[in-house]
Amino acid sequence: MRLAVLGYGVVGQGVVQICDEDVPELDVVRILDLPERCSGERMTSSFDEIVGDESIEAVVECMGGLEPARSYILAALEAGKHVVTSNKAVVAANFQAFVDAADQAGVSLFIEATTGGGIPWIASIAKARRIDFVSEFSGIMNGTTNYIIDQMSRHGLDFSEALARAQELGYAERDPSADIDGIDVANKTIISCGVAFGVACRPDLPVAGIRNLTKADMDLLAERGLSVRLLGRGVCDGHGYAACVEPVALPARTLEACVPDNFNLVSLTGQTIGELKFYGQGAGGLPTGNAMVQDLIDCASGTRLRYDLSAGLSWDPTLISGTYLLRTTADIDGEGGLAPGTVLMCDVTSEQAHEALAQALKTDPEALLVALPEEF
Amino acid sequence: MRLAVLGYGVVGQGVVQICDEDVPELDVVRILDLPERCSGERMTSSFDEIVGDESIEAVVECMGGLEPARSYILAALEAGKHVVTSNKAVVAANFQAFVDAADQAGVSLFIEATTGGGIPWIASIAKARRIDFVSEFSGIMNGTTNYIIDQMSRHGLDFSEALARAQELGYAERDPSADIDGIDVANKTIISCGVAFGVACRPDLPVAGIRNLTKADMDLLAERGLSVRLLGRGVCDGHGYAACVEPVALPARTLEACVPDNFNLVSLTGQTIGELKFYGQGAGGLPTGNAMVQDLIDCASGTRLRYDLSAGLSWDPTLISGTYLLRTTADIDGEGGLAPGTVLMCDVTSEQAHEALAQALKTDPEALLVALPEEF
């Protein structure tokens, strides 16, 4: 199969390397990059040249960002080319539009690499759904924040020290907001909701990150045997669904609490299969490239995917509720917390807890929200 | 697709329930059981009736044991029927013969449910191999022994108390030897070697179980931050391979050390994907039934599998080596151990360590072998 790769950063290079070295049936004939970075015969800075080449059956988008990725993906689908993408931001924002365009043209959209990097997460949800109703998913979906938390927890670093180390290693961007504010996880949660529940997830789900997580917060929870992880979560009961992104305190002897470095761990629950968990590299050129090449092998061997986001599910915030800890100097309703300056909100929905956080942040920009485990 | 289920125990019932309730395209037309247990129209005690029915395209073997399972599987394959089995003992003992018979008849052998219960382990290895050289695998592949270890570690039970509890819950057989002596894990390790490395694994790989594991052994290791798990392991370097089954002491903050109850966790390493881990129910009617129904859905949708066990790999015991702890009253060469009555064997192969254990067991039937982590 002849294919073109859009974007030649870490992931694009991973895809090209794996295709060239390991999968002779995948022929990378064009690589799109900026004009000043084009060297070698197959590189081009003209997307039109790619989209107009009828011999190219699949386009691999690893540019990231919303534009021109959105336009290129739509144009490729409309031109009858299959699209494989690792770009969670653009898929989360345009999932329905991409699905419609793919359906219209009779081609497939492959999104394994958008969520969980090299972990076969999207395919595993889809496979579970062949038999089971998938009632929930949750997981560590962002390696950068897991690395920061792991460094803070294992080596006693402050948040800013751990972030700086993540930036040195190339795990975090110079502007780390998408990672530490939970935006990247929100995109992956929206995509997972689509695949797991068949719903076009609302874009404004409750999202809280770890920007304000301090060593003192972690110590306070560690005294109670708890360890914080940033989780994306989704729940569905067949009529409604809920989703959120938030720091969650987990008992130290859970698998999630032991995930090291920048690894990811994602879980799903189905009615006959029970709980399945998948662990692996959530980012990086070769693992993410591997996920994209797996999609390409499926595509080349005739697999056609069709996502259906039309399940008539309403947003039901009561599906995610529990006890939340809010650490803030703001004046917020709730019981006395675990320490001075903390408030416990019992039996509230995630949405309510996030509203209280938003309220607190107006006067206390350092406020932190953490979901506590059921047994708490 | 019309299919017959051989054996109507926990797993067989799971398969039938899932097919009947959730997968209308899978039509269970015959169920084989003992004459005295046949009730209802589709039950029969005659295998000949099944194998002679040309309308039956697939046979689902969940009887367990070596015979008549082996004969029935061969007869079904030779009659041109696809075979889906959960029977690790019969596949481990006859992998090459089954592959040959399937090849000859142009049908497929599906073995997902033999290893890891509901975990998509066999399919994940096969998928990884489409791109990567898989250099090793390891994992907790037996839920019964994990349950025993977890009970001992979390609730301070003795081995015999934990085993009795596992038997009460139906996790362990009345004769628990296949579980606690590592035989079940050995079968799954042999199958995993076949799928991961393409080798017909030798049947007499080094196998040690947890029959002699005591609370005192666990306490001794826990003092050093270590937790014991029974692991199946395989390593391949492209020329040779090694495999073994043994108790391994793992740092408490590893995922393996946190696997609760009777769950399984299996890992593989590929050159571009890195490390992937899969966690789920390793047994039980519905999870194992789910894995078999996944195979059936693949089969019905035209997937044809072909295992190739002809990789020219020689047995190379040096591929699994390290430091081993032998707790015994027998007189064995080695350095002073962690406590009186224990010996440390440094930089030995797994095979050498198991030979020392065999030597010790001659005079000390209570001897225990544990592999220590690299950092030890």
Provide ipTM, 2 decimals: 0.97
% of chain A beyond a pLDDT of 90: 94
Q: Which residues pair with A235 in a beta bridge?
A: A136, A242
pLDDT at A336 over 80: no
Residue A14: list chain B partners with CB under 8 A: 272
Candidates A15, A124, A255, partner chain B, best to mutate (most B CBs within 10 A): A255
- pLDDT-derived band of residue A331, with 50, 70 and 90 as boundaries? confident
Q: Quick check: is A188 catalytic?
A: yes
Q: Which residues pair with A32 in a beta bridge?
A: A6, A44
Residue B258: list chain A partners with CB under 8 A: 253-255, 257-258
pLDDT 10s digits, B304-350: 999 999 998 999 999 999 999 999 999 887 777 788 899 999 999 99
Residue B131: list chain A partners with CB under 8 A: 18, 22-23, 290, 293-294, 297
pLDDT at B52 over 80: yes
| pLDDT confidence of residue A128 | 98
Backbone torsions φ then ψ of B18, nearest 5 degrees: -65, -45
Contact A290 B259 (CB under 8 A): no
3-state secondary structure of B364: coil
Q: Report the residue of chain A nearest B275, measured CA to CA.
A: A280
Of the given ranges (A201-205, B291-295, B301-305), which has the lowest mean pLDDT? B301-305
| pLDDT confidence of residue A338 | 80
- Tell me the CA distances in angstroms from B319 to B40, B310, B347, one per residue in order: 54, 20, 12
pLDDT at A297 over 80: yes
Nearest CA to B276 out of A280, A120, A256, A283 is that of A280
Residues A199 and A241: beta-carbon distance below 8 Å: yes
Q: Which of B14, B130, B276 sits opposite A279 (nearest CB)?
A: B276
The alpha-carbon radius of gyration of chain A (Å, integer) is 21
Contact B272 A18 (CB under 8 A): yes
pLDDT, averaged across chain B? 96
pLDDT 10s digits, A184-233: 999 999 999 999 999 999 999 999 999 999 999 999 999 999 999 999 99
| pLDDT confidence of residue B321 | 97
- pLDDT-derived band of residue B303, with 50, 70 and 90 as boundaries? very high
Element (H, E) at A352: helix A350-363
pLDDT at A335 over 80: no
Contact A279 B278 (CB under 8 A): yes
Residue B68 preceded by cis peptide, ω within 30: yes
Q: Report the residue of chain A nearest B271, measured CA to CA.
A: A286
pLDDT at B272 over 80: yes
Residue A294: list chain B partners with CB under 8 A: 127, 130-131
Distance CA B75, CA A69 (A): 55
pLDDT 10s digits, A139-174: 999 999 999 999 999 999 999 999 999 999 988 888
The secondary structure of B116-183 as a DSSP string is STTS-HHHHHHHHHTTS-EEEEEEE--HHHHHHHHHHHHH---HHHHHHHHHHTTSS-SS-HHHHTSH
Residue B280: list chain A partners with CB under 8 A: 273-277
Candidates A154, A272, A276, A294, partner chain B, best to mutate (most B CBs within 10 A): A272
Mean pLDDT of the A261-266 span: 97
* Pairs of CB atoms within 8 A across A/B: 117
Q: Which of A274, A280, A293 sits opposite B287 (nearest CB)?
A: A274
| pLDDT confidence of residue A244 | 98
Residues A248 and A140: beta-carbon distance below 8 Å: no
Distance CA B65, CA A4 (A): 51
| pLDDT confidence of residue A168 | 94
Q: Which of A127, A253, A257 sits opposite B294 (nearest CB)?
A: A127
* Ordered alpha helix ranges (H), B215-284: 215-222
pLDDT at B375 over 80: no
- pLDDT-derived band of residue B201, with 50, 70 and 90 as boundaries? very high
Taking each continuous run of H as one helix and of E as one strand, the counts in chain A are: 12, 16
Mean pLDDT of the A338-363 span: 95
- Top pLDDT among B171 and A288 is at A288
Contact B293 A131 (CB under 8 A): yes
pLDDT, averaged across chain A? 96
Distance CA B280, CA B330 (A): 39
Nearest CA to A195 out of A350, A320, A298, A311 is that of A311
pLDDT at A334 over 90: no
% of chain A beyond a pLDDT of 70: 100
Residues B263 and B121: beta-carbon distance below 8 Å: no
Mean pLDDT of the B240-257 span: 97
Half-sphere exposure of A153 (CA within 13 A, CB side): 25
- Tell me the CA distances in angstroms from A254 to A229, A266, B251, B318, one per residue in order: 11, 13, 14, 34
Nearest CA to B291 out of B69, B143, B122 is that of B122
Mean pLDDT of the B142-167 span: 96
Residues A219 and A373: beta-carbon distance below 8 Å: no
Contact B280 A274 (CB under 8 A): yes
Q: Residues in chain A whose beta carbon is closer than 8 A to a beta carbon of chain B? A: 14, 18, 22-23, 118-120, 124, 127, 130-132, 253-255, 257-260, 265, 270, 272-281, 284, 286-287, 289-290, 293-294, 297
pTM of the full predicted structure? 0.97
Residue B139: list chain A partners with CB under 8 A: none
pLDDT at B278 over 80: yes
Distance CA A256, CA A264 (A): 9
Mean pLDDT of the B71-76 span: 98
Sheet containing strand A58-61, edge to edge, reads A43-44, A27-32, A2-6, A58-61, A82-85, A109-110
Q: Which residue has the tokens 């959530």?
A: A282
How many angstroms away from the CA of B331 is the closest CA of chain A?
38
Residues B360 and B328: beta-carbon distance below 8 Å: yes
| pLDDT confidence of residue A333 | 78
| pLDDT confidence of residue A337 | 75
Distance CA B24, CA A72 (A): 40
How many angstroms away from the CA of A272 is the closest CA of chain B?
5
- Tell me the CA distances in angstroms from A240 to A198, A235, A268, A269, B167, one per residue in order: 11, 8, 17, 16, 40
How many angstroms away from the CA of B282 is the closest CA of chain A?
10
| pLDDT confidence of residue A375 | 73
Sign of the four-CA dihedral B83, B89, B90, B93: positive
pLDDT 10s digits, B203-246: 999 999 999 999 999 999 999 999 999 999 999 999 999 999 99
| pLDDT confidence of residue A96 | 98
DSSP A165: H
Secondary structure of chain B: what % helix, strand, coil (to 5)? 40, 25, 35
Contact A281 B274 (CB under 8 A): yes
How many C-beta atoms surround the C-beta of residue B177 within 10 A?
A: 12
